[in-house]
Chain A
Amino acid sequence: DAGVTQSPTHLIKTRGQHVTLRCSPISGHKSVSWYQQVLGQGPQFIFQYYEKEERGRGNFPDRFSARQFPNYSSELNVNALLLGDSALYLCASSLEPGGYEQYFGPGTRLTVT
């Protein structure tokens, strides 16, 4: 079975631009979570989606948004990019939102210049 896939792998954007990151969960997994990992730190929770509904949101500004599609894939959107948004963005899927292990994708490395 394929694991969690994310695209693109790397991305370079300019301040003020917009970015869309994509994630496909493991087949059969209905919950997708997004995390931001800054170099040298642990992943920080951004969003959780389950059955196309937002189940949780971390402490991130409204410039960050996400959605989940009927096939359980997900998109993370970030508007008005700042230098501080440069990070590894990780998508994780699980069978259901709580109580299950999360399987992480390889991540998208975003660099904002």
Chain B
Amino acid sequence: GQQVMQIPQYQHVQEGEDFTTYCNSSTTLSNIQWYKQRPGGHPVFLIQLVKSGEVKKQKRLTFQFGEAKKNSSLHITATQTTDVGTYFCAGDGSGNTGKLIFGQGTTLQVKP
């Protein structure tokens, strides 16, 4: 079945450093979504990417969708302590069904 792999599992950075998490799907995706989950919280929607090669920015966050629509990345510039949490990518298969397959997540710790 479809699998979504995400690396790294953990990342510790100094405040102000950049951070990147990568996501790879075993199959072509109709879209990919990114979520952030704070400790003890629930996933919060960040963004959805639909088009091949798409790049979207939200302030210090840059999201990319690969040309083959099988991989994606999230890059945070100049991390802040408020960026702490676990970032998940979630792929929607070729049928655009809304049945999201989540990666294992990357937990970001930011040292002030």
**CB <8 Å contact, A104 and B30:** no
Chain B residues closer than 8 Å to A43, beta-carbon distance: 43, 88, 90, 100, 102
**CB <8 Å contact, B31 and A99:** yes
**CB <8 Å contact, B43 and A48:** no
A48 to B1, alpha carbons, bound, how many Å? 18
Identify the closest chain B residue to A91 (Cβ).
B42
Partner of B98, one of A90, A102, A104, A107: A102
Number of A-B contacts (CB under 8 A): 73
- Interface residue tally for chain B (C-beta within 8 Å): 27
From A13-21, A52-60, A62-70, A75-83, the one touching the partner chain is A52-60
Chain B residues closer than 8 Å to A107, beta-carbon distance: 42
A44 to B96, alpha carbons, bound, how many Å? 17
A59 to B99, alpha carbons, bound, how many Å? 12
Q: Using C-beta atoms within 8 Å of the partner chain, give the interface range for chain A.
A: 20 to 34
- What's the nearest-Cβ distance from chain B to residue A3, in Å? 10
What 6 A-B pairs are tightest by C-beta distance, nearest first? Answer: A42-B102, A98-B96, A98-B98, A97-B98, A101-B45, A56-B99
- Chain B residues at the A interface, C-beta cutoff of 8 Å: 1, 6, 30-31, 33, 35, 41-45, 48, 50, 88, 90, 92, 95-105
